[in-house]
Amino acid sequence: MKVAVYPGSFDPVTNGHIDIINKTSKLFDKMVVAVIHNVSKKALFTLAEREEMVKENTKHLDNVNVESFSGLLADYVRQKQACAIIRGLRTAADFEYEMYIAMANKTLYPSAETVFVLADSKYIYISSSIVKEVALLNGSVAELVPESVNKALALKKAAMKI
């Protein structure tokens, strides 16, 4: 069975991420979307909230599981017996950054290849940070995120009394 792991912060998941999951899930027998606690980022949503949002928006895909983890990605990929680590590429700048992570992961766990999947052109400018900033400053992100995420952002904003 060919298993792929798609790791990310998903704070929150965007239409760009969902596009990558939709496309990649067709290429593997099983895909695990791994919502990570990135120590270098301050998250708006809790790990559980982020995991739930990804679950809600991938439930139409039978071969996709969503989990969260903290720790080394290479160890997680080994534990899942995955043959591929999926990363979405939007621009050449993404590749610069991703190449070093891919090389490090290859050294830590040589049995998995990093597979880069090109983002759809209509999503190349989206990032979770842009989505959060626009939403928290009263802009519309309805075109950028699934409906449930749009609602969650509005609730978070209300709770923060911005």
By annotation, the residues acting in catalysis are 17, 41, 90, 128
Contact with ligand COA (CB under 6 A) among 119, 135, 149, 153: 119
**Region of 24-32, 58-66, 119-127, 145-153 interacting with ligand COA (CB under 6 A):** 119-127
Q: Which amino acid is at 71?
A: G
Contact with ligand COA (CB under 6 A) among 3, 80, 88, 141: 88
- Contact flag: residue 7 with ligand COA (CB under 6 A): yes
CA-to-CA distance for 158 and 132, rounded, in angstroms? Answer: 13
Q: Which is nearer to ligand COA, 28 or 86 (CB)?
A: 86
- Tell me the chain's radius of gyration from C-alpha atoms: 15
- Contact flag: residue 80 with ligand COA (CB under 6 A): no
Q: Quick one: which of 95, 91, 69, 92 has its CA closest to 80?
A: 69
- Contact flag: residue 114 with ligand COA (CB under 6 A): no
Q: Which is nearer to ligand COA, 28 or 145 (CB)?
A: 145
Binding residues for ligand COA restricted to 26-65, rule: CB under 6 A? 36, 38, 41
| Residue-by-residue DSSP string for 102-130 | HHHHHHH-TT-EEEEEEPPGGGTT--HHH
CA-to-CA distance for 70 and 52, rounded, in angstroms? Answer: 16
DSSP 8-state assignment for residue 44: S
Q: Which is nearer to ligand COA, 42 or 161 (CB)?
A: 42
CA-to-CA distance for 3 and 88, rounded, in angstroms? Answer: 17
Lookup: tokens for 19: 């596009």
Q: Whose CB is nearest to ligand COA?
A: 16
Residues that bind ligand COA (CB under 6 A): 7-9, 11, 14, 16-17, 20, 36, 38, 41, 72-73, 88, 90, 101, 104-105, 119, 123, 126-129
